[in-house]
Amino acid sequence: MKIGFIGTGVMGNAIASNLIKAGHNLWVYNRTKSKTDNLVAAGATWCDSPQAVVNAAEIIFTMLGFPQDVEQVYYGEKGIFAADVAGKTLIDMTTSQPQLAQKIAQTGQELGAKVLDAPVSGGDVGAKNATLTIMVGGLQTVFDECKPLFDAVGSKAQLFGPSGAGQNTKMANQIMIAGTMTGMSEMLVYAQGAGLDLQKVLDTVGAGSAANWSLSNYGPRILKEDYTPGFFSKHFLKDLRIALDTAQAMGLDLPATKQAKQLYEKLVDEQKLGNLGTQALVKLWWK
């Protein structure tokens, strides 16, 4: 199948690699061209703009950083909608605003394209191992057509409703992760303060009712002082802001998520550590 992939950062590169391994032909674009070098070496074709990717491919994935990046790639000069998208399928895997997903779907429908919003969970490990969880919004028929592609890069894909539903599900996911990240960080700070063996604490807590994905995946990295991004702190802060803005629009108050946002603001905005992984939150306590 002729597939386009726009955005080959930590997550996008691994997803695109798995699509190539599944036997698909890829056309790729990224603002930093060198981040597509491994994909081109594996057989992908470089394009010099999102518009060129759309011209070459039948199904186009986007995996970007921020909503403004999504807006630019879809609506900007030489963007996706500058091409003839009639009959094409557009799948945005960026964690973005539900209302932007709805806007893209509306534009796509007007131009004859099929559109899904399909943010993912699972971090860099899930992207590399093709075990991502994929949360989808859009039409059932389009989801069914794309399910084999989702199966090539993830272990679970679920349709949650019309356009924007995938993004709303990802916001629910990020709200949950906010709790596990703050809980894990404070647990380690407490255990260290009490003079406990942190590796033994991880092993024991992770075997009980407090076990969670953040603990098992990021806890060991913290003990190794490995703060490389499986998921950038700056992107997680972006997600928490989207979640809280959307919750406010629904008349919901989420105090624990607000507190998590404030902690990540200290890490990203004040300490300028947004390019580290989300596990770097513990640096607010550990210098």
> Each residue of 23-82: pLDDT tens digit?
999 999 999 999 999 999 999 999 999 999 999 999 999 999 999 999 999 999 999 999
Question: If you average pLDDT over every residue of the chain, what do you get?
Answer: 97
| Among 88, 114, 170, 234, the one annotated catalytic | 170
How confident is the model at residue 184, as a pLDDT?
Answer: 97
What mean pLDDT comes out for the span 211-222? Answer: 96
CA-closest candidate to residue 92, choices 124, 112, 65: 65
Residue 287 has what pLDDT? Answer: 73
184-196 confidence digits (pLDDT tens): 999 999 999 999 9
pLDDT band at 123 (very low <50, low <70, confident <90, very high): confident
Average pLDDT over residues 88-96: 97
* Mean pLDDT computed over 250-272: 98
Residue 230: pLDDT over 90: no
pLDDT at 69: 97
Percentage of residues in the chain with pLDDT exceeding 70? Answer: 100
Listed range (121-125, 133-137, 202-206, 237-241) with the worst mean pLDDT: 121-125
Question: Percentage of the chain surpassing pLDDT 90?
Answer: 97
156 is a catalytic site residue: no
The three-state DSSP-derived secondary structure of the chain is CEEEEECCCHHHHHHHHHHHHCCCEEEEECCCHHHHHHHHHCCCEECCCHHHHHHHCCEEEECCCCHHHHHHHHHCCCCHHHCCCCCCEEEECCCCCHHHHHHHHHHHHHCCCEEEECCEECHHHHHHHCCEEEEEECCHHHHHHHHHHHHHHEEEEEEEECCCHHHHHHHHHHHHHHHHHHHHHHHHHHHHHCCCCHHHHHHHHCCCCCCCHHHHHHHHHHHCCCCCCCCEHHHHHHHHHHHHHHHHHCCCCCHHHHHHHHHHHHHHHHCCCCCCEHHHHHHHCCC
The token pair at 53 is 């990717």
Give me 100's structure tokens. Answer: 């932007």
Which residue matches tokens 């002729």?
2
**Distant-in-sequence, close-in-space partners of 284: CB < 8 Å, separation ≥ 6:** 185, 263, 266, 267, 271
pTM more than 0.85: yes
Q: Is the pLDDT of residue 117 over 80?
A: yes
Kindly indicate the confidence band of residue 270, based on its pLDDT and cuts at 50, 70 and 90: very high
